[in-house]
Amino acid sequence: MKNVLSRILILLSSIVFFSLSSPVNADSGTASPSGAESTVQEEASSGSAKGAGSDDEIESEASREINYIRESLQLPKRKNVLVAYFSRVGENPGVGVITKGNTRIVAEEIAKQTRGTLFEIRTVKDYPESYEACLALAKKEQAKQLRPELAENIDITPFDEIYLGSPVWNEDMPMAVYTFLEGHDFNGKVIRPFNTHEGSGDAGFVDKIRGAAKNAVVKPIFSVRGGMAQYESFKLPFAVKTWRTAESIRQSEALISNFK
């Protein structure tokens, strides 16, 4: 009997204890198991109480973050770097008939590394696809020192660093490159030349550019075989980077221009 009474007492005191310690939700009248959980529930329900507006806020915050990361990864173009180049598609010695010019391939790699603006020096009149016909025309233009009209021009004022690319045509630059050089004021500009060739190397381009672009500071040239640009372009990123870095640490021009 005594045993039974003590059990009833324990049961009653437990009921009283739990009814006092469990807070009652004022709205629903239901008991929450603990204060801490009640707070989490309140936050959750207050969030859902705000409904779509709050979700929108979270979403726009997330998209702001994503845009920020995207912008940081897709680095903007560098406003002061121009990569101007002349390049021709068609038949070329050493590479056959090509659909993307050798010099253009190098220009694109430079633009990629420098985040510069690409500009193609194009003539109003296209050059022949056949190598022999093109060579004959190039020689004629050289003999007469013609300055073929360009299809498009660019204001170089905003650029202070200009990468200038050209193929070797009969030991010289195509006359259209002179049209470009003589048509602009290079005062205060730095020109970094590059060329592609099939054996002539730098072909004295640095001096030729110095003569045509008065007042420009002309840096050492990056000279590469057209065949390498065309068929071993995987070597270009390193070669271009070496040239640009070497130039900045003043290594010899010969070392760079003899790069094979």
Ligand X SMILES: Cc1cc2nc3c(=O)[nH]c(=O)nc-3n(C[C@H](O)[C@H](O)[C@H](O)COP(=O)(O)O)c2cc1C
170 near ligand X (CB under 6 A)? yes
Tell me if 235 sits within 8 A of 105, measured CB to CB: no
Among 163, 169, 186, 243, binds ligand X (CB under 6 A): 169
Stretch touching ligand X by CB under 6 A, among 22-30, 45-53, 65-73, 192-200: 192-200
Quote the least distance from Cβ 112 to ligand X, whole Å: 17
197 near ligand X (CB under 6 A)? yes
Residues in 212-231 at the binding interface with ligand X, rule: CB under 6 A = 226
Quote the least distance from Cβ 91 to ligand X, whole Å: 7
Quote the least distance from Cβ 219 to ligand X, whole Å: 20
By rule CB under 6 A, what count of residues binds ligand X?
Answer: 24
Torsion of CA 199, 200, 205, 211, to 10 degrees: -160
257 near ligand X (CB under 6 A)? no
Which two structure tokens, joined as six digits, stand for 36? 């801490």
Which CB, 99 or 157, lies closer to ligand X? 99
Which CB, 88 or 192, lies closer to ligand X? 88
Could you give the CA distance from residue 219 to residue 142 in angstroms, rounded to a whole number? 25
Among 114, 196, 223, 257, binds ligand X (CB under 6 A): 196
Residue 166 backbone dihedrals phi, psi, to 5 degrees: -155, 145
Would you tell me which residues interact with ligand X (CB under 6 A)? 87-88, 92-94, 101-104, 131, 134-135, 138, 167-171, 196-200, 226
